Amino acid sequence: MSLPILIKIGVLIERRWMLLLIEEKKNGESPYKFNIVKGTFDAKDKSFERTAVRESLEEAGVEIKVKKLFNSFVVKRSDQIIVQLNFLASFVKSRPLSKNKEIENEYIGKASFFQKRQLLKMQERDFISKRAYESAQRWITE
């Protein structure tokens, strides 16, 4: 039996040696934890890069320029396989959203830029997932 494949697109948005992180709650549970911008690929987007652009606007209110594929993860669950492709992008314009909003059962708080020294102080438990934490830590060393 083959499992359905779900494609997730993540975006590490950088601006002058800083990385944008959003605050997000899983299923509305407290407290907020840090995450990269991330969403599900939609065939209407016609490319993974366009999904990255759309998700950046929806979740963080920022326009970006996609630079390159940054890293990827594959997670096999009992009901599906998740392929997550994370892109590195440059901030172009606009300001991160500061108000809380709910998008399809995603509870997103504010978006903020963090310097590398601030990211170094964060721990895995501060992030919504191990994948988000590992991606942010890898960005520090790039």
pLDDT 10s digits, 109-141 = 889 999 999 999 999 999 999 999 999 999 999
Structure tokens at 33: 């934890």
Structure-model confidence comparison of residues 81 and 100, the more confident one: 81
pTM for the full predicted model: 0.91
Domain 5-141 has what CATH class?
alpha beta
Q: Write down the pLDDT at residue 39.
A: 95
CA distance linking residue 134 with residue 74, whole number of Å = 14
Using DSSP, state whether 99 is helix, strand or coil: coil
Share above pLDDT 70 across residues of the chain, in percent, rounded to a whole number: 91
Name the more confident of 2 and 41: 41
Integer Cα distance of 38 and 104 in angstroms: 13
- Rounded Cα distance, 99 and 48, in Å: 27
